[in-house]
Chains A and B, each alone.
Chain A
Amino acid sequence: MKRAVRKAVALLLGVLLLASCASCGASSGDGGKKEITYWSFMNEGEPVQKWMQTFIDDYEKETGVKINVVWCGRDVLIKLQSAIASGSSEDLPDIVDQMNTTVLTLQESDGLFCPLDELMKQTKAYGSETPFYDIFDETALNAGRASDGKLYCIPREMYTSAVFYNVKMFEENGVSVPTTWDEFMDVCEQFKALGIAPIAYDGIFEEYIPWWYIRSCERMVGVDTLQAACRGEVAWSSNSRFLEAAQDMQALVDNGYFQENYEGANWPSSQIYWVSGGAAMYYCGTWLPSELAESTPEDYVMDIFSFPAHDDEDAPGVEEVWGNYWAILKDADAELALDFINYSFQKKYDDAKSDMIIPSPLKDGKPAAGLESQSDILANAASTCEIYGDLVQYGDYYSNIFTRNINDLMLGKMTAEEFIGKMDADTANYYK
């Protein structure tokens, strides 16, 4: 009896083990039905996720193609890394979406994605005879190109960065919108004299910390030279304008133009502080109105102006353009994946996105309310570059050396001169 029980238990365990192994290798498909696996940058419940769900449902209904969507959130590419590291191609998605700079950084280092120029030119936009490729704003499309000149990702939106300001606060205090750096400093002084923090700034939010200095350098030195300095090919002290840009930053700190205790301000407190009327200006990407939609008082009026330039700079200058982009993995059925992406750019979906105050990357996209000035800023730009001057491609250097030292400069822990000296020393040491 005992032996029979033992045998039965052992058999049961064996069966359980086999069953678990079998389920690991089971296919999720059912015969010939087409499927697309999409790993999204969005989290479930976000407004953009809800918008995406509408066209995913419609696409499934209309085409019979099953979309296996995983709402991964901001760490989608980290999850992709884990999946690739596990070595199982079955677990990999067909489509991912992320900020264009990060997608392209991965393309440069690991060549994960499929080139799209030809395919997009051969494909007609949904419900139109126009090639899918031609419906996009050229600037937005070009921001999806890697250094080999090929397009690896498709823009879902088209952001730029700008100084956001409280229109009523400016008007009520008789302050004019600045166009030059000197005027900007005057504006800051006026608000300071009124007892209002001129600028809301996040002292410990790594993503926004270096943005002011980067924009200043993009304008004063140029993106190519800035990137060359980050690669260690040009000394930070070799171009006096790096120092001038740092001195501008030091002036903002020394003059007390940031809100009190900004050193310990973490996202999203500074932007909420700004939209609550605590500060006059906030520098950010044009995703801000959408991000702040629920926190913005009904009577609050915001507008944007381009990063102020020095009088002796070439004007108009360079502006940043980026967004979250779709990318198709190399091993995917590219035509099918593109068909799904193409579907999402139909006018009804794109307009609905613009209604969420997300600027469209399409040539005839509906303007996002409150961001009308973005078109003017970009129309006046002499050239465009990617967000943060595309310095995030130097991920390790960018975080460990560049952002860290700018953080110290912006916290008033070092002077502009000390900053340049430290950048030279740390960069030389990094590339040694």
Chain B
Amino acid sequence: MRRLKTIRENRKTRTRLFIFTFLFPAFFLYLVFFIYPAIDAIRISFTDWSGFGTSASFNGLDNYARMLSDEVFWISLGNSFAFMLGGGIIVFALALVFAYLITNYIVHQKFYLNLFYFPNLISFAALTILWVFIFDGTFGVLNSALRAVGLEKFATAWLGSRKTGMGAITLVGAWFYLGFYLILIYSAITKIPDSLFEAAIMDGASNLKIFFKITFPLIWEILMTAVALWIINSLKLFEIVWGMTKGGPSMQTHVMGTYIYFNAFGTYHAFTFRLGYASTLAVALVIVATIAVTAFRRLTARETYEY
């Protein structure tokens, strides 16, 4: 009996060792490339480290105090939230509408999904150059088009102010990310058993009624996960803003991602090199993102429908 127990225990230990052997490489890489830098960023956020050399003086809460009185930090945070809300409304409203149309009325569904996903295949650099030339105040295609159709009074310096600049960035962001979220929602819809739709049709329900009474509640979980993903991704926004405005004019279109980069490095002709302060902003961004996602998940938590 005792021998049997020992054999079982040995087998258990070997199994654990076997599991550990497989997990170790991934865990090791995660530890080195994510956990360690993340913890180190917190340490750096309390220093004045430039990013060069090894000398970094501990400066207590100075960086955090500076951040709270930094006007551009609040502008960046405001812009990040504006993008999150404005872009989120556009992305999810359009994604739901297009998902509804594609699943109900379109024959070549894959073609349209690929079409919407197409912007994701273009590099951000090329994409932003394209949009800068559309929105540019002097040479912009948009202004030329407005003038061509007699609407010159609406031609303006689109990227020349916070309001219109962030509006343009939000539209470009929504255009870019729409395809990804559309595919998520479309996939969720196609997972719903046909029998539920057939029963509803038998009962004489319209497409719209089916969408709101069956489709929408059944994709709720995935939809909310997609929104949480959007919250995180939108708060990390960088490439579109850096490519289109670099946070200008007068720092009015910075978002958290670009402002962190700007403080860490600056621009190639005028370096700032304040990795300490940039880490402080990054820590703040992690806290803000965590609070936003947690609050969202709590607010939208509800009973899961099984099907």
Q: Give the residues in chain A near B157, CB-CB below 8 Å.
A: 203, 261-265
Bound-state Cα–Cα, A413 to B160, Å: 11
* Beta-carbon contact of A396 and B274 below 8 Å: yes
Bound-state Cα–Cα, A109 to B48, Å: 13
Nearest Cβ on chain A to B141's Cβ, whole angstroms:
11
Interface presence of B118 (CB below 8 A): no
Bound-state Cα–Cα, A259 to B52, Å: 42
Q: Give the residues in chain A near B51, CB-CB below 8 Å.
A: 81-82, 84-85
Bound-state Cα–Cα, A124 to B293, Å: 65
Partner of B159 from A17, A204, A403 at Cβ < 8 Å: A204
Q: Give the residues in chain A near B132, CB-CB below 8 Å.
A: 266, 269
* Beta-carbon contact of B248 and A407 below 8 Å: yes
Q: Give the residues in chain B near A411, CB-CB below 8 Å.
A: 160, 249-250
Q: Give the residues in chain B near A269, CB-CB below 8 Å.
A: 132-133, 136-140
* Beta-carbon contact of A84 and B159 below 8 Å: no
Nearest Cβ on chain B to A89's Cβ, whole angstroms:
12
Which stretch from A99-107, A143-151, A176-184, A338-346 is at the chain B interface?
A99-107
Bound-state Cα–Cα, A207 to B159, Å: 16
Q: A75-B268, A81-B273, A85-B51 are in contact. List 15 more A-B contacts (CB 8 A).
A: A6-B14, A10-B18, A17-B25, A77-B271, A84-B53, A98-B268, A203-B157, A206-B246, A261-B137, A264-B165, A266-B132, A392-B269, A395-B270, A396-B272, A399-B262
* Beta-carbon contact of B159 and A102 below 8 Å: no
Residues 97-128 (chain A) with a chain B CB within 8 angstroms: 98-99, 101-102, 105-106, 109-110, 112
Nearest Cβ on chain B to A171's Cβ, whole angstroms:
25
Q: Give the residues in chain A near B265, CB-CB below 8 Å.
A: 75, 78, 81
Provide the A199-220 mask, 1 if CB < 8 A to any CB of B, else 0: 0100111110100000000000
Interface presence of B155 (CB below 8 A): yes
Residues 128-145 (chain B) with a chain A CB within 8 angstroms: 132-133, 135-140, 143
**6 closest A-B pairs (Cβ-Cβ)?**
A264-B157, A264-B137, A263-B160, A261-B137, A264-B160, A263-B157
* Beta-carbon contact of B270 and A392 below 8 Å: yes
Which stretch from A152-160, A270-278, A298-306 is at the chain B interface?
A270-278
Bound-state Cα–Cα, A205 to B138, Å: 13
* Beta-carbon contact of A264 and B159 below 8 Å: yes
Interface presence of B156 (CB below 8 A): yes
Bound-state Cα–Cα, A102 to B267, Å: 10
* Beta-carbon contact of A264 and B18 below 8 Å: no
Interface presence of A404 (CB below 8 A): yes
How many A-B pairs have beta carbons closer than 8 Å: the answer is: 160
Q: Give the residues in chain B near A85, CB-CB below 8 Å.
A: 51-52, 275
Bound-state Cα–Cα, A87 to B249, Å: 36
* Beta-carbon contact of B139 and A272 below 8 Å: yes
Interface presence of B45 (CB below 8 A): no
* Beta-carbon contact of B138 and A265 below 8 Å: yes
Q: Give the residues in chain B near A278, CB-CB below 8 Å.
A: 138
The chain B residue sitting closest to A426, CB to CB, is B71
Q: Give the residues in chain A near B155, CB-CB below 8 Å.
A: 261
The chain A residue sitting closest to B155, CB to CB, is A261
* Beta-carbon contact of B273 and A204 below 8 Å: no
Interface presence of B111 (CB below 8 A): no
Interface presence of A363 (CB below 8 A): no
Bound-state Cα–Cα, A203 to B25, Å: 51
Q: Give the residues in chain A near B249, CB-CB below 8 Å.
A: 203-204, 209, 263, 407, 411
The chain A residue sitting closest to B243, CB to CB, is A266
* Beta-carbon contact of A84 and B156 below 8 Å: no
22 interchain pairs (CB within 8 A)? A78-B271, A84-B51, A85-B275, A102-B268, A112-B52, A204-B165, A207-B267, A207-B269, A207-B270, A209-B248, A260-B138, A261-B157, A263-B137, A263-B249, A264-B137, A264-B164, A266-B159, A269-B136, A269-B140, A396-B263, A400-B72, A411-B250
Q: Give the residues in chain A near B251, CB-CB below 8 Å.
A: 400, 404
What is the size category of the interface that chain B forms with chain A? 35 or more
Bound-state Cα–Cα, A199 to B160, Å: 17
Nearest Cβ on chain B to A283's Cβ, whole angstroms:
15
Nearest Cβ on chain B to A91's Cβ, whole angstroms:
14
The chain B residue sitting closest to A75, CB to CB, is B268
Most buried by A among B133, B155, B159, B270: B270
Interface presence of B300 (CB below 8 A): no
Interface presence of B50 (CB below 8 A): yes
Q: Give the residues in chain B near A6, CB-CB below 8 Å.
A: 14, 18
Interface presence of A74 (CB below 8 A): yes
Interface presence of B266 (CB below 8 A): yes
Nearest Cβ on chain B to A52's Cβ, whole angstroms:
18
Q: Is the interface of A mostly helix, strand, loop or mixed?
A: helix
Q: Give the residues in chain B near A388, CB-CB below 8 Å.
A: 269
The chain B residue sitting closest to A411, CB to CB, is B249
Bound-state Cα–Cα, A392 to B54, Å: 24
Q: Give the residues in chain B near A392, CB-CB below 8 Å.
A: 269-271
Bound-state Cα–Cα, A77 to B264, Å: 12
Bound-state Cα–Cα, A265 to B161, Å: 11
Bound-state Cα–Cα, A273 to B161, Å: 21
* Beta-carbon contact of A74 and B268 below 8 Å: yes
Q: Give the residues in chain B near A35, CB-CB below 8 Å.
A: none
Bound-state Cα–Cα, A263 to B155, Å: 12
Bound-state Cα–Cα, A398 to B156, Å: 28
Bound-state Cα–Cα, A268 to B251, Å: 19
Q: Give the residues in chain B near A98, CB-CB below 8 Å.
A: 268
* Beta-carbon contact of B269 and A99 below 8 Å: yes
Nearest Cβ on chain B to A12's Cβ, whole angstroms:
10
Interface presence of A13 (CB below 8 A): yes
Provide the B243-262 mask, 1 if CB < 8 A to any CB of A, else 0: 01110111100000000001
* Beta-carbon contact of A203 and B160 below 8 Å: yes
Nearest Cβ on chain B to A325's Cβ, whole angstroms:
14
* Beta-carbon contact of B267 and A206 below 8 Å: yes
Partner of B52 from A102, A110, A264 at Cβ < 8 Å: A110
Residues 258-297 (chain B) with a chain A CB within 8 angstroms: 262-263, 265-275
Interface presence of A408 (CB below 8 A): yes
Nearest Cβ on chain A to B190's Cβ, whole angstroms:
37
Interface presence of B180 (CB below 8 A): no
* Beta-carbon contact of B52 and A266 below 8 Å: no
